[in-house]
Amino acid sequence: MSERDSRYRINVVAEMTGVPAPTLRAWERRYGIPTPSRTAAAYRLYSDRDVAMVRKLRDLCAGGLSIAEAAQMVLKGEADTFIEAPGHLDAFEAATRRIVAAVIAFDPDLLEREVSRAVYLGSAVTVFEQVLGPVMRQVGDLWHAGTLSVAQEHLASEVVGSVVRALSRLVQPPAPSRRVLLAAFEDEEHVLGLYGVAIRLASWGIRSVDLGARTPPEALADAVARLSPDAVALTLTIALRPERAAATLERYAQACAGVPWFVGGAGAAAVATRVERLGGVVLAGEAATLRAAIEQALAVKPQRP
Amino acid sequence: MSERDSRYRINVVAEMTGVPAPTLRAWERRYGIPTPSRTAAAYRLYSDRDVAMVRKLRDLCAGGLSIAEAAQMVLKGEADTFIEAPGHLDAFEAATRRIVAAVIAFDPDLLEREVSRAVYLGSAVTVFEQVLGPVMRQVGDLWHAGTLSVAQEHLASEVVGSVVRALSRLVQPPAPSRRVLLAAFEDEEHVLGLYGVAIRLASWGIRSVDLGARTPPEALADAVARLSPDAVALTLTIALRPERAAATLERYAQACAGVPWFVGGAGAAAVATRVERLGGVVLAGEAATLRAAIEQALAVKPQRP
DNA sequence: AAAGATTAGACAAACATTGTACATTCGCGA
DNA sequence: TCGCGAATGTACAATGTTTGTCTAATCTTT
């Protein structure tokens, strides 16, 4: 390559990779990786290769490995079977891109393969938050932009949806734990977010019961009455019809009578004030908000007897 | 498949499987299963095989076995033969009844448990045909009869649907094989039958690509054009609006231009004559018809180049 | 002189380990 | 129907490991 290898000082590398300088030194001291060259005055000079190595280590760690194992892996050259990131991307971004590319190419086999592979990239929560969630967001965007056909969007939803659903069932904590009821508003077809919530809840030891898409308020009321869940989470990505929004929300609020309830999803912000007036909680930032809200809600109501 | 020698720390495994870390240690101590390798500092390192083992134990427990029995079974390698165990019809019927009972009782935990247990009763096809299919039929009937609430129907669909979907993905034959495109009519929400078809096709070595619920004819046309499948199978359980039925069917028929296409499901009989006039095939007795029809259709069109 | 790098060592938080103990739960015989 | 004992998940304590960060003293670059 005619590319003369540029050299970076440690703080530049820290900036580029997000790994603090002291940590970089610690990695070198403890695992001997990377081993940058030095100036006459012993200042570290990282080559592009070194930087790529740091990125690889960082990604492997994010995937659940310890730094010691990651280092060993990279040293033994095994890392490439595990992650093939084109240099400047981290593993999750790369996986996301490959999956979206498979959707664009309309290649179901490739899509299956890439999605299955992504599942091994880390814990369920990580995979959902870093890969499958973003994939569906991008697919949605591309679809709205007219880049993707309806068929492509369907295919992506089907494959990714089924994997996420399977993941969410796989990680369910054992039975005697608190339970959250999940459902989508009526006319709401998108339930991927619900599975994401289920996965996150599971990682905090909370089970979820999913009623799925298009759950009418009467059904929700019925389920709440019979199951007495510790909370209810609803997803809303579409826009409620303005003239009926108030009535609809009220019916859902009544269905949740006495149980903490949350509304999340892209369409939640639009109804935030109404929801709050009805005693519900709107999940804006999702992950962070959810954690706080759930903790607060479940702290009040102790473990079921 | 590629042998991955990834190694996971105990907490990662706990999150992946939903089995708490202390329990994992207890299982290892008491039943010697799994026996993860150790780091120099005696930290447990679980391989993918170990993780799969934990999942199997977990599932077997969910299916009603004690952990001791499950462990013994997995150790002796019986867990897989157990799958093909003697299929007395009573067992299937009993499982069906227990699952329906769980739906009626509105007990999500019991439902999960019974469904998980049923999965180990036989091969994917058998389980679907003998248990999960009948369950959904009965649930549908009970719902129509007003015995089940909407919430109960939703819950059953969600749990059974996700299991069937997972099954159908699990049994997909390897890539270089003939391919059938599956989709539901627009406005059609019930896709369970499609997964059943996918499972059956898989047992004959045919892959399927699923576009899922509410696939409009344009999307189908797009998918047919891009994927050139060997056949298309559509599901219809609802009644098409009479005044639009002819036009709708025609659009779907055109979407399938040149490819053998089938219509199945409870609503198929009602449009049988029209479908046949348009060159499609109606699947009446389901299993038997499907086999014959598919064989005939795919015999004409050879393996894709 | 100020900003930034170097080393070595120390430290604390997070996480694992083992062994023991405890509380439920469940099946079985009384 | 009542308890008894085995089975099983979980808690606790004491100890050890891993790893990011911090400190102090010194040196280089600008």
* Residue A10, phi then psi, degrees to nearest 5: -60, -40
SS3 label, residue A159:
helix
Do A211 and B108 count as a contact with CB atoms less than 8 A apart?
Answer: no
Residue A128 lies in a domain: yes
Which of A6-10, A200-204, B62-66 shows the lowest per-residue confidence on average (mean pLDDT)?
A: B62-66
Q: How far is the C-alpha of A128 from the C-alpha of A123, rounded, in Å? A: 8
User: Do residues B185 and B292 share a domain?
Assistant: yes
Helix H or strand E segment including B44: strand B44-45
Name the closest residue (CA) to the C1' of nucleotide D27.
Answer: A41
Residue A196 lies in a domain: yes
Question: Which pLDDT value is given to residue A52?
Answer: 85
Q: How far is the C-alpha of A216 from the C-alpha of A251, rounded, in Å? A: 9
pLDDT at A235 over 50: yes
User: Do residues B211 and B233 share a domain?
Assistant: yes
Question: Which pLDDT value is given to residue A172?
Answer: 75
Any chain A CB within 8 A of the CB of B303? Answer: no
Rounded to an integer, what is the distance from CA B179 to the centroid of its chain? Answer: 17
The pLDDT of A127-144, averaged and rounded, is 90
pLDDT at A9 over 80: yes
* Burial class of residue A22 (count of CB atoms within 10 Å of its CB; 0-12, 13-18, 19+): exposed
Do B165 and A162 count as a contact with CB atoms less than 8 A apart?
Answer: yes
Any chain A CB within 8 A of the CB of B173? Answer: no
Strand C: protein residues, Cβ closer than 7 A: A 9-12, 21, 25-26, 29, 38, 42-44; B 9-12, 21, 25, 38, 42-44
Strand pairing report for B37-38 and A281-282? unpaired
pLDDT at A168 over 70: yes
Do A211 and B8 count as a contact with CB atoms less than 8 A apart?
Answer: no
Instruction: Give the per-residue SS3 of A86-146.
Output: CCCCCHHHHHHHHHHHHHHHCCHHHHHHHHHHHHCCCCHHHHHHHHHHHHHHHHHHHHHCC
Q: Which two tokens stand for residue B140?
A: 């549908």
Question: Which pLDDT value is given to residue B81?
Answer: 43
Note the pLDDT tens digit of each residue in B257-270: 889 999 998 888 88
Residue B305 lies in a domain: no
User: Do residues A222 and A270 share a domain?
Assistant: yes
Question: Which pLDDT value is given to residue B3?
Answer: 36
The pLDDT of A165-175, averaged and rounded, is 78
Q: How far is the C-alpha of B39 from the C-alpha of B19, rounded, in Å? A: 21
The pLDDT of A173-178, averaged and rounded, is 68
B33 φ/ψ sector (left φ>0, alpha ψ -120 to 50, else beta): beta
Do A189 and B8 count as a contact with CB atoms less than 8 A apart?
Answer: no
Do B9 and A66 count as a contact with CB atoms less than 8 A apart?
Answer: yes
Task: Give the other-Cβ count within 10 Å of B41's Cβ.
Answer: 6
Residue B290 lies in a domain: yes
Note the pLDDT tens digit of each residue in B121-172: 777 888 888 899 999 999 989 999 999 999 999 999 999 999 999 889 878 8
Q: Is the CB of A43 under 7 A from strand D?
A: yes
The pLDDT of A105-123, averaged and rounded, is 82
pLDDT at A123 over 80: no
Check if the beta carbon of residue A227 is closer than 8 Å to that of residue B108.
yes
Q: Give me the helix-helix angle, A21-31 and A67-75, nearest 10°.
A: 60
Question: Which pLDDT value is given to residue A231?
Answer: 92
Question: What are the CA-CA distances from residue A243 to residues A237, A240, A249 (Å)?
Answer: 17, 8, 11
Q: Which two tokens stand for residue A11?
A: 């703080």
The C1' atom of D8 and the CA atom of A85 lie apart, in whole Å, by 44
User: Do residues A97 and A209 share a domain?
Assistant: no
Residue A21 lies in domain:
10-82
Alpha-helical (H) ranges within chain B are 10-17, 21-31, 48-62, 67-75, 78-83, 89-105, 108-119, 124-126, 133-144, 150-170, 192-203, 217-227, 242-255, 272-277, 287-300
Q: What percentage of chain B carries pLDDT values higher than 90? A: 34
More confident residue, B44 or A303: B44
Residues facing A181 on adjacent strands: A209, A232
User: Do residues A126 and A50 share a domain?
Assistant: no
Question: Which pLDDT value is given to residue B22?
Answer: 93
Would you mind telling me the total number of residues written for chain B in this entry? Answer: 305
DSSP 8-state symbol, A46: B
The pLDDT of A142-153, averaged and rounded, is 91
Would you mind telling me the total number of residues written for chain A in this entry? Answer: 305
User: Do residues A286 and A187 share a domain?
Assistant: yes
Give the total number of structural domains in chain A. Answer: 3
Check if the beta carbon of residue A229 is closer than 8 Å to that of residue A259.
yes
Question: Which pLDDT value is given to residue A156?
Answer: 96
pLDDT at A28 over 60: yes
Q: How far is the C-alpha of B199 from the C-alpha of B291, rounded, in Å? A: 12
Domain boundary among A151, A168, A185: A168
Among B49, B47, B51, B65, smallest CA distance to B19 is for B51
DSSP string, B46-82: B-HHHHHHHHHHHHHHHTT--HHHHHHHHHTTHHHHH
Residue B149 lies in a domain: yes
Domain boundary among B83, B117, B135: B83
Confidence of residue A287 (pLDDT cuts 50, 70, 90): low
Confidence of residue A105 (pLDDT cuts 50, 70, 90): confident
Contacts of A106 in chain B (CB under 8 A): 223, 226-227
Any chain A CB within 8 A of the CB of B37? Answer: no
Among A205, A140, A144, A141, smallest CA distance to A171 is for A205
User: Do residues A181 and A284 share a domain?
Assistant: yes
User: Do residues A103 and A116 share a domain?
Assistant: yes
User: Do residues A190 and A280 share a domain?
Assistant: yes
Question: Which pLDDT value is given to residue A181?
Answer: 95
Task: Write the residue in B4, B16, B211 that is nearest to A151 by C-beta.
Answer: B211
User: Do residues A208 and A296 share a domain?
Assistant: yes
Segment 70-99 of chain A within 8 Å of chain B by CB: 78, 81-82
Question: Which pLDDT value is given to residue B286?
Answer: 64
Residue A15 lies in a domain: yes
Check if the beta carbon of residue B223 is closer than 8 Å to that of residue A155.
yes
Residue B22 lies in a domain: yes
CATH label of the domain that carries residue A36:
1.10.1660.10
| Residue A173 exposure: Cα atoms within 13 Å on the Cβ side | 20
Nucleotide of closest approach to A68 (CA, C1'): D18
Domain boundary among A36, A57, A82: A82
User: Do residues B187 and B268 share a domain?
Assistant: yes
The pLDDT of A149-165, averaged and rounded, is 93
Question: Which pLDDT value is given to residue A215?
Answer: 93
Contacts of A226 in chain B (CB under 8 A): 106, 151
Among A51, A56, A58, smallest CA distance to A76 is for A56
Q: What is the mean pLDDT of chain B?
A: 84
Residue A5 lies in a domain: no
CATH label of the domain that carries residue A124:
1.10.1240.10
Which of A171-175, B65-69, B136-140 shows the lowest per-residue confidence on average (mean pLDDT)?
A: A171-175
Contacts 24+ apart (CB under 8 A), B29-37: B31/B67, B31/B68, B31/B71, B31/B72, B31/B75, B32/B71, B32/B75, B33/B57, B33/B71, B33/B74, B33/B75, B36/B10, B37/B7
Size of interface A-B (CB pairs under 8 A): 136
Note the pLDDT tens digit of each residue in B185-243: 988 988 998 999 999 898 888 999 999 999 999 999 999 999 999 999 999 988 888 88
User: Do residues B194 and B288 share a domain?
Assistant: yes
pLDDT at B53 over 70: yes
Q: What is the mean pLDDT of chain A?
A: 83
Q: What percentage of chain A carries pLDDT values higher than 90? A: 31
